[in-house]
Amino acid sequence: MKIILLVVLTGFICLKTKAQTESSKTPPSQAILLKEVNALVDDYQLAVIKSARCKDNKNYDLASILSKFAPNAVIEVSSLRSGSNIIKRTPREYFSRLKNLCTALNYDSVSVAYLRNIISGTNILRDGNSCIIDTNITQRFEAYRNNARVYCDITVRKIHVSFYLEDGITVGRITRVSIVATDQCLKTITDR
């Protein structure tokens, strides 16, 4: 019950700020904001899956997925294979590299699958005149060569979505995709 009250209160505070900024517009409800977050996360996941395909990924509409991101958005990447630290890329760099992944690493096929945590109102944060809602997704990435799996990792990622006013309309954009944890598929990974 306390969580439900916190969800409602936090959402109200966040939306009230927007209402004060643009009093002629009625701010969207928390349910509408969460629905938009779900849609943006679904679009992100589908874009990763389509971009990483070894075949039939050349005609994927990159401009469409880039429109889901804020202008200064970043996506964090890391590679257990190389042991590199986390690197920040622009969405354009990230998806362009995904489209060329199979050729660059000589993969025959790639499989990307997702699990997602339930978004809760406790994830709603106030940042000046905007609201930030985040949700964790777990990505399982597998690569194959000659019908044998040659690489696999599981990554927990936090997707941050910011809502702000644009021409009097509340707009949601992905501002950051952060890596929370990464591990090999043989080990169990939990959210941290």
Q: Distance (Å, rounded) from C-alpha 96 to C-alpha 51?
A: 8
Given a cut of 60, whether residue 11 has pLDDT beyond it is: no
pLDDT for the residue numbered 190: 44
Query: Can you tell me whether residue 158 is helix, strand or coil?
Result: strand
Q: Which of 3-7, 126-130, 184-188 has the lowest mean pLDDT?
A: 3-7
**Is residue 191 domain-resident?**
no
Given a cut of 80, whether residue 49 has pLDDT beyond it is: yes
When divided into structural domains, the chain yields a total of 1
Task: Identify the residue whose tokens are 């009250």.
Answer: 5
Cα 74 to chain centroid, rounded = 10
E strand or H helix that includes residue 78: none
CATH number at residue 133: 3.10.450.50
**Is residue 55 domain-resident?**
yes
**Is residue 189 domain-resident?**
no
**Is residue 134 domain-resident?**
yes
Structure confidence at residue 54 as a pLDDT band (50, 70, 90): confident
Given a cut of 80, whether residue 156 has pLDDT beyond it is: yes
In one-letter notation, the amino acid at residue 38 is N
Given a cut of 90, whether residue 68 has pLDDT beyond it is: yes
**Residue-number span of the structural domain to which 105 is assigned:** 2-184
Q: Residues near 158 by Cβ (< 8 Å), separated by ≥ 6?
A: 134, 135, 136, 176, 177, 178, 180
**Is residue 41 domain-resident?**
yes
Given a cut of 50, whether residue 86 has pLDDT beyond it is: yes
